[in-house]
Structure 1
Amino acid sequence: MQNLLIQISPIGRNVMPLIIKPGPCCQRFHRCFTTGRVSYSRLNAARQHFTRHKKLFPGLLSQVVRQSATAAEAAAPEISQKAQKIVGGWLLSCAGMCAGAVLLGGITRLTESGLSMVDWKLFKDMKPPRSQQEWEEEFEIYKQYPEYKYVAQEKGDMTLSEFKFIYYMEWGHRMWGRGVGLVFALPALYFLKKGWISKALKPRLAIYTALIGFQGFLGWYMVKSGLQEQPNSTDIPRVSQYRLASHLGSALLLYTLFLWNGLAHVLPPAQIPDFKQLARVRGMAHGLMAAVFVTALSGAFVAGLDAGLTYNSWPKMADRWIPDDLLAISPKWKNIFENATTVQFNHRYLAQGTVVLISAFWLMVRKYPLPIRARLAVNCLAGMAFIQATMGILTLLWYVPTHLAATHQSGSVVLLSMATWLALELRRLPK
């Protein structure tokens, strides 16, 4: 209290002549401001003073509140650089776990393993079948669902060993998702108790918690769509491409948030020389990040509809720049999301457009005085864009081999990382 009075005494001196009235409470209140010494009688006098004369000094009251907040903030213990680095490393670890979940999810999809576990139980799922009898019981449950019926009709009966492979793929993906939650939640509680979480980061932790929980819900919601009976026995059982895109999009969003805040904790901010086009460069960097994100999201529709197998030529699609069946579905807008030809067409040109934008940005900023790390981020982004485009073309031409398609999906995460890093390096620093 004494330190607080010392902080706000200049305010009191400026307006004291306007509010001091005859009486012992006013005199004791005045001595509190002028001496900075506090006793029980003076605290009681201050209380009486505010009660009796509160209508006379609303301006002083508001200034006292503001000054008190400033003083309390200044008195709060600062988080050490070491603690900030540790928190940053933890956030980057969470980002790495999210990236691993995206990679495992892609492989699970490519190996057609996602529908092997036909229910979702938070704790029971953590223990896979162990005995031969348990495996056979689980296999019999799987046989009741559309995917097994389709495989048995088109490819012949599935063996128990084949079922074990796809089951373990899906089980590993689910356990990794639970691991993301643990890697986030346990250190978060510890750091909060230690006081290492800044005021700005605390609401973001709530957002991360909600997104992680939402991811688990979306995962099962997506799988559930593929367990429904198909209208025709020849239809391939698939999860909804809308739910798949939502699942991937929320995972990429969570990854980007973890990465941004993790890098902000571990990388010291670089001072950017002020030049005329700086605001424009910052805006374009965020635009590139959005373009990479949207292109990756369009890839989820390609995966959901197996659209990578419709036209396996480049740069044309079956010797045509615009295929005949681009708008085959009615109403027309559904082609964007439900026509495999249109979905591949969109992904192609979004990817090519993103590469062109990144290349143009690289050429434009060469003449600007960017810091060393920002310059490195631009170069890495441009180089990775061409690598990713090359992998996409080869995946298409070679009829989507699993290893190359999984590498291509991982490349989208790397490219998004580079774009996020660049936007972070060019961010506006608080004065």
Structure 2
Amino acid sequence: LLAANARQSQFGSLLRNRLRNQSRSPLGGNAIRRCHSSAPPSASPVWHPMVAHLTAGQRRAVGIWLATCAGMTAGAVVLGGLTRLTRSGLSMTNWSLFKELPPVTQSDWEREFQRYQAYPEYEYIVRERGSMSLNDFKAIFWLEFLHRTWGRAIGAAFLLPAAYFWARGRFQPAMRKRVLIYGSLILGQGLLGWYMVRSGLSKDTLTQDVPRVSQYRLAAHLGSALLLFSLFTWSALTHLLPFTQFGAAVALRGRLAAAAHLLTSAAFATAISGAFVAGIDAGLVYNSWPKMADRWVPTDYWALQPAWRNLFENASATQFNHRLLGHSTACAVAAVWLWAVAAKTRRAALPPRTRLALNSLLAVVCTQAGLGIATLLTYVPIALAACHQTGSLALLGTTTWLMHELRRVPK
């Protein structure tokens, strides 16, 4: 027994020494680690060629800047909706690109109020309410001033970092073109906003008894803001997220990408139709759901001549169109989600980030539909209407994210 124990101890000592020597050598250590490691090697992330030359920190810095610009653009849209809901948009009757300062003294406020009294909106408010005090005017003036100042802040938040990143070589030629487009859109937004306000200040340009800005100019102003928001969001995601690799599920990616483009177009069209609803106060015409005064289609849908005017100037028709687009968008999102996520085989083939985008899109569209119905049934209160407009931005941003997830990986 003693001899056997001695031989076993000697064998164990030799084995431990051999393993220790192997672990010290490069080849032996790698072999042991390969034997004990069951995790497959992870694929390195693939970045868009436009940002592949940047380091991780540089991509993150540019991406956060673009995401901030997208968020500020969304804030400008929400503020613009509030000015429309509170009838504040026509309170500032002058426009200057750089010299627009608020009144300071009492005499300055009285002078600004007297200037406002010369325009049709003041006459309408006096007819409806009986009077309008200086404090009432201050409330709507400050909201419009905040909206315009916020727009200028977007220009500064975009221009100064863009100049720095450009000088430091952070932009490839393709990104430089995008930066120039973004800057042009921001400048155009300011000019288009004043062009829109002018339509509500002159009696000659008013197309209805109630002083309002032109719904066509309002839709153009909102549409350009939504376009700028989508472009900022897309470029921010390009800098912050690498390509999603589907592996063998290439056909699934292609079909989902086509559906995502359609969903984004539907969300954009629904938001623009909402601008026509807001422009002529069409949300106050039929405040029942799902029918409109016990009918699926209003009887006065084709009340105006020529017929095309009903799509943009008839309150009943514009509300019906907005409902139809909203219902269609919600159903389309639900159908895409059911097709892609409900089936186990397709759900298993989806990358986790793509599944998250699809689940988020379903949650956002359900929330947005609920906000729209609640806003309609409660006769368009300001808080709910503002939340509904914010929901349209969330929906458009989520569809843009889904499109970005489904981009084709460059070969």
Instruction: Encode CA deviations 1:170-194: one digit per residue, 9 max, x unaligned.
Output: 0000000001100000000001111
Cα distance change of structure 1 residues 233 and 90 upon mapping to structure 2, 3 Å threshold:
closer
User: Partner of 1:235 in structure 2?
Assistant: 209
Secondary structure (helix, strand or coil) at the match of 2:201 reads coil
User: Partner of 1:375 in structure 2?
Assistant: 355
Matches for 1:266-281 after TM superposition, within 5 Å: 266-275=240-249, 276-281=251-256
Alpha-carbon distance in 2 for matches of 1:357, 1:422? 14
Query: Which one of the candidate residues 221, 228, 232 is aligned to 1:254?
Result: 228
Alpha-carbon distance in 1 for matches of 2:181, 2:105? 41
User: Partner of 1:80 in structure 2?
Assistant: 55
User: Partner of 1:311 in structure 2?
Assistant: 286
* Moved beyond 4 Å, runs of 4+: 230-234
Alpha-carbon distance in 1 for matches of 2:76, 2:358? 27
Aligned letter for 1:294? A
Instruction: Encode CA deviations 1:383-416: one digit per residue, 9 max, x unaligned.
Output: 1101100000000000000000000000000011
Instruction: Encode CA deviations 1:174-220: one digit per residue, 9 max, x unaligned.
Output: 00000110000000000111111223211000110111111011100
Instruction: Encode CA deviations 1:322-372: one digit per residue, 9 max, x unaligned.
Output: 111011001111100010100000000100000000000001112321111
User: Partner of 1:39 in structure 2?
Assistant: none
Structure 2: 5+ residue runs without aligned partners? 1-48
Aligned letter for 1:186? L
Secondary structure (helix, strand or coil) at the match of 2:333 reads helix
Secondary structure (helix, strand or coil) at the match of 2:203 reads coil
Cα distance change of structure 1 residues 398 and 322 upon mapping to structure 2, 3 Å threshold:
same
Query: Which one of the candidate residues 117, 138, 143 is aligned to 1:164?
Result: 138
Query: Which one of the candidate residues 120, 125, 128 is aligned to 2:95?
Result: 120
Aligned letter for 1:414? A
CA positional deviation for 1:273: 2.7
User: Partner of 1:17 in structure 2?
Assistant: none
User: Partner of 1:62 in structure 2?
Assistant: none
CA positional deviation for 1:226: 0.3
User: Partner of 1:40 in structure 2?
Assistant: none
Alpha-carbon distance in 2 for matches of 1:423, 1:262? 13
Alpha-carbon distance in 2 for matches of 1:233, 1:383? 39
User: Partner of 1:213 in structure 2?
Assistant: 187
Structure 1: 5+ residue runs without aligned partners? 1-73
Aligned letter for 1:98? T
CA positional deviation for 1:274: 3.2
Cα distance change of structure 1 residues 203 and 156 upon mapping to structure 2, 3 Å threshold:
same
Alpha-carbon distance in 2 for matches of 1:336, 1:274? 46
CA positional deviation for 1:119: 1.4
Alpha-carbon distance in 2 for matches of 1:208, 1:291? 23
Aligned letter for 1:402? I
Compute the RMSD of aligned alpha carbons. 1.6
Alpha-carbon distance in 2 for matches of 1:234, 1:93? 39
Please tell me whether residue 285 in structure 1 is matched to residue 265 in structure 2. Answer: no
Alpha-carbon distance in 2 for matches of 1:206, 1:187? 13
8 Å contact 1:146–1:230 — kept in the other structure? no
User: Partner of 2:337 in structure 1?
Assistant: 362
User: Partner of 2:382 in structure 1?
Assistant: 402
Aligned letter for 1:212? I
Please tell me whether residue 185 in structure 1 is matched to residue 165 in structure 2. Answer: no
8 Å contact 2:206–2:212 — kept in the other structure? no
Please tell me whether residue 175 in structure 1 is matched to residue 155 in structure 2. Answer: no
User: Partner of 1:351 in structure 2?
Assistant: 326
Instruction: Encode CA deviations 1:276-326: one digit per residue, 9 max, x unaligned.
Output: 343221111111011101101110000001000000000000011111101
Alpha-carbon distance in 2 for matches of 1:180, 1:137? 29
8 Å contact 1:273–1:370 — kept in the other structure? no
Cα distance change of structure 1 residues 191 and 352 upon mapping to structure 2, 3 Å threshold:
same
**387-396 or 265-274, which deviates more:** 265-274
CA positional deviation for 1:270: 1.9
**348-357 or 77-86, which deviates more:** 77-86
Query: Which one of the candidate residues 353, 356, 370 is aligned to 1:390?
Result: 370
Secondary structure (helix, strand or coil) at the match of 1:363 reads helix
Aligned letter for 2:291? K
Return the TM-score normalized by structure 2: 0.84
**226-235 or 387-396, which deviates more:** 226-235
Alpha-carbon distance in 1 for matches of 2:400, 2:128? 44
Aligned letter for 1:269? F
CA positional deviation for 1:157: 1.6
Please tell me whether residue 328 in structure 1 is matched to residue 303 in structure 2. Answer: yes
Aligned letter for 1:392? G
Cα distance change of structure 1 residues 186 and 232 upon mapping to structure 2, 3 Å threshold:
closer
CA positional deviation for 1:268: 2.2
Query: Which one of the candidate residues 198, 215, 220 is aligned to 1:224?
Result: 198
Bigger relative CO (Cα 8 Å, ≥ 6 apart): 2
Query: Which one of the candidate residues 119, 144, 148 is aligned to 2:122?
Result: 148
